Amino acid sequence: MTSFEFCVPVKFQIIIIIIIIITRSLQDDILSGCLSSDNSYLQIYLLPWSAASGTVPDILPTKQPFWDRPGILQDSSLVEASLQTSIQQAAFKAAQFPHSGDWLFALPINCLMRVAP
């Protein structure tokens, strides 16, 4: 008995297997990086995505951030348009800046002072 079989009830295992079988061709298309696919699900979502992002590359990337970018840009512009004060705009721009969250990984200064002799 595998850990998967142990922690998931049998009826859910059957549902998961059915979902895997139904979406197999879509998974194959995505993982193969194939642009000319006859998969209807891929074509349905590829058309609006390409309209929002511009051109579709010959080989479809497998990294999620590439696919998320058009939606993130659209949501970002909606949020930016709703900002009313210059402080809100400055905070929003600062949050968009690369590495803006790096300070969260820094150790507090009092931790560093305890280590020093």
Asked if residue 109 belongs to a domain, the reply is: no
Asked if residue 107 belongs to a domain, the reply is: no
Asked if residue 105 belongs to a domain, the reply is: no
Asked if residue 100 belongs to a domain, the reply is: no
pLDDT value at position 6? 55
Asked if residue 104 belongs to a domain, the reply is: no
Which tens digits make up the pLDDT trace of 35-62?
Answer: 555 667 777 877 888 888 777 777 777 7
Which burial class, exposed, middle or buried, applies to 70 when counting CB atoms under 10 A from its CB (0-12, 13-18, 19+)?
middle
Q: How far apart are CA 89 and CA 52, in angstroms?
A: 24
Asked if residue 112 belongs to a domain, the reply is: no
Which tens digits make up the pLDDT trace of 62-112?
Answer: 788 888 888 888 888 999 999 999 998 988 888 888 777 777 777 666 655
The pTM of this model reads 0.48
Asked if residue 45 belongs to a domain, the reply is: yes
Asked if residue 110 belongs to a domain, the reply is: no
Classify the C-alpha dihedral 31-33-36-41 as positive or negative. Answer: positive
Domain that holds residue 55: 3-89
51: helix, strand or coil = helix
Number of domains in the chain: 1
